Chains A and B, each alone.
Chain A
Amino acid sequence: MASELLLVDNVSKFFTVAGGRWGERHTVRAVEEVSLSIARGETLGLVGESGSGKSTLARIILNLIQPTSGKVVFDGQQVSSAKGEALRNLRRRMQIVFQDPYGSLNPRMTVGRIIAEGLPLRGMTDSAKQAEEVQRLLALVGLDASYQNRYPHEFSGGQRQRIGIARALAVKPEFLAADEPVSALDVSVQAQVLNLLLDLQQQLGLTMLFVAHDLAVVRHMSDRVAVMYLGRIVELAESSTIYTSPRHPYTRTLLEAIPVPDPDRKLPDIPPVETTSRPAEGCPFQPRCPLAIDRCRKEMPQLAEWGCGHFTACHRAGETT
């Protein structure tokens, strides 16, 4: 891809956790051997259940966490090894909207100060200009300019998320990671925030990584979708492909779990969740997989292309369509 903006190359992140009665340490493999790329202007959706490493991956991309191995390249520059001036420049070009609209705004700062925090970083130090820019940003995210003197606790979740978006846009980023931006919001408000993000993306030509655990939300937003399971990408395809012809059994169960407003619909056979811990060898999904064969228990399936940018990590992907 000639116009790719972001490249994630074989990135892994292991956390060492002390647990158990004697404090023995063990390793949690949050993200493992993940590779993907995002083209300029594209939105990549990233889905997976809790603990699948979606948020960790987003944080690695933004250099909020250092990966254990692998590298992230943004517009030709290595992100994880960037320091000083180079890192500051990168930071300005990539921003993040957080999941928790309550915790991500400093409760002791006024909305105006929160949004203006990034402005000096793009060279805007004049306070009159800053005030003007804050008003412009508030209008951009659909908030009243008079809100800038209020505190975060005076706002609803949806309004706060808009403030968070305004703060991220203050530095004029090219890339925006949205880490489950609507999962903490009421369903009625979710659509508003999602549409705002879509509008902004078109208006500003943003490239986006959209993290969510809700496939319906991701479909609304994304050009391509990556499905993560226990730290690995198990399927990656155009979003229309993934919704119409998923190849990985995990993706299929996810899709079947989307509620459909049809009282006559028969409940699909969803394999029972016995364990979400990962097996010692073989495919990580194998204990829950309805199609698992002997090979799945022994050999880790690699991500392979099954035509037209559709990648799946499953030994039996060829048999299922």
Chain B
Amino acid sequence: MAASAPLASETVYVRALTPRQIAWRRLRRNRAALCALGLLALLHLLGLFAPFLSPYSPVQQNLALYYHPPSHFVWRNNQGQHTFWPEVPATMLTPSHRCIDLPGTLAPLRLFVHGERYRLLGILPVSLHLFGCKNPVFLMGTDALGRDLLSRLLYGSQYSLSVGLIGIAITFALGLLIGGISGYYGGITDNVLMRFTEVLLAVPGFYLLLALAALLPPGMPSGESYILIIAILSLVGWAGLARVIRGIALTTRERPFVEAAKALGVSPLRIIVRHILPETTTYSIVSATLAIPSYILGEAGLSFLGLGIREPTPSWGNMLSSAQNLEALTQYPWILMPGLLIFVTVVAWNVLGDGLRDALDPRGMR
């Protein structure tokens, strides 16, 4: 058809893709990495909205209902009629720790109920919760003090997940700056900074963590100890990164465009930030995603040993420490839930990191 032929005056303007666009396209083709990304986004969102999603306060105890198994739903009401909405029975624990339903106590699970007041995202004072029930409802059971595991997991994720993100931010700020300066200036500056990082690298990391954590005063509020744990983890972690960044900076400073910037009279700090550090982005993004799990595990390890986030404030690590004895493990397996979440998060970060590495690999760029 003549109508479909393009006019001669029409110019087709094709714009080349930037490296970032190419990388994003390739990441989208990697299904596993995309799933991991989605999962992580979900986990972080859950943590962000923990007060709204959790039915109880993470520190509210029900001593009569300790190690309560996950609640079960009944699809009938007290009159025996079939319902389309789950009902929850009130329960009690026998002396032999069996959970039995109390007859005639069924109450419907309700959405958007008012409960304890909290500040949504730390600002908005509200009392709305996603769900609730007249009877105690524990979707994932309770711990030794009868605290709702789901609420504690949600609140705990705020600490456990953010440790990785904030930790990596501090580590990278330090590592990039020190590595960049060391590599760009070279000479004596390089020697002094690198010997210093080697000293740090020579100290076994976990012992350093233990020593530093033991310095925390025992009565410290958990908010403060949380900040300190992040500080400790990132102060231990930057050294290895700084060395790699220094290596990249050493090769980049010989590139002609850096020489051109130097010839223009651009200040050294500006050259480092604008020309040298961008060369490390591929490496940094990948190594950051692969390093986040070690922070999550580091926090979990410290909290597990009682040196991190302290009871009653929940974190996945200190929740897992209650799963230490065999009796609890065999009889109340739901208390392993934080372990499962740590595992899932760590795997997701690693899969995402792998996917990013493939996507950013310059050899595959077209």
Contact = CB atoms under 8 A, between A and B. Distances in A.
10 pairs of A and B residues whose beta carbons are closest in the complex: A91-B265, A104-B256, A103-B256, A106-B257, A118-B264, A88-B265, A154-B16, A98-B256, A108-B278, A96-B263
Nearest to B264: A118
B264 A87 contact: no
B16 A96 contact: no
A243 interface: no
A151 B265 contact: no
B261 A117 contact: yes
A96 B260 CA distance: 7
Nearest to B263: A96
B263 A95 contact: yes
A105 interface: yes
26 contacts: A62-B263, A64-B262, A91-B263, A91-B264, A91-B265, A95-B264, A96-B260, A100-B256, A103-B257, A104-B256, A104-B257, A105-B260, A106-B257, A106-B278, A107-B19, A108-B19, A117-B264, A117-B274, A118-B264, A150-B15, A150-B16, A151-B18, A154-B16, A164-B260, A168-B263, A171-B264
A247 interface: no
A94 B263 CA distance: 8
Interface residues of B, number: 19
B259 interface: yes
A3 to B, nearest CB: 24
A92 interface: yes
A54 interface: no
Contacts of B274: 106, 109, 117
A105 B15 CA distance: 19
Interface string A161-180: 00010011011000000000
Contacts of A88: 265
Interface of B: 15-16, 18-19, 255-257, 259-266, 274-275, 278-279
Contacts of B279: 108
Contacts of B19: 107-108
A105 B18 contact: no
Contacts of B255: 103
The A contact surface, by secondary structure, is loop
B265 A171 contact: yes
A121 interface: yes
Contacts of B260: 96, 98, 104-105, 164, 167
Contacts of B275: 106
Nearest to B14: A154
B261 A64 contact: no
Contacts of A278: none
Nearest to B279: A108
Nearest to B257: A106
Given A98-B259, A105-B257, A92 B265 contact: yes
Interface string A77-110: 0000000000110011011101110011111110
A118 B257 contact: no
Contacts of B263: 62, 64, 91, 94-96, 168
A153 interface: yes
B16 A64 contact: no
B256 A121 contact: no
Nearest to B278: A108
Given A153-B16, A154-B16, A121 B264 contact: yes
A96 B257 CA distance: 11
Given A104-B256, A106-B257, A106-B275, A87 B265 contact: yes
B31 to A, nearest CB: 29
A142 to B, nearest CB: 20
Nearest to A101: B256
A150 B16 CA distance: 9
Q: Which of B16, B263, B275 has the most CB of A within 10 A?
A: B263
B259 to A, nearest CB: 6
Nearest to B267: A88
Contacts of A105: 257, 260
Contacts of A171: 264-265
A59 B275 CA distance: 20
B261 A121 contact: no
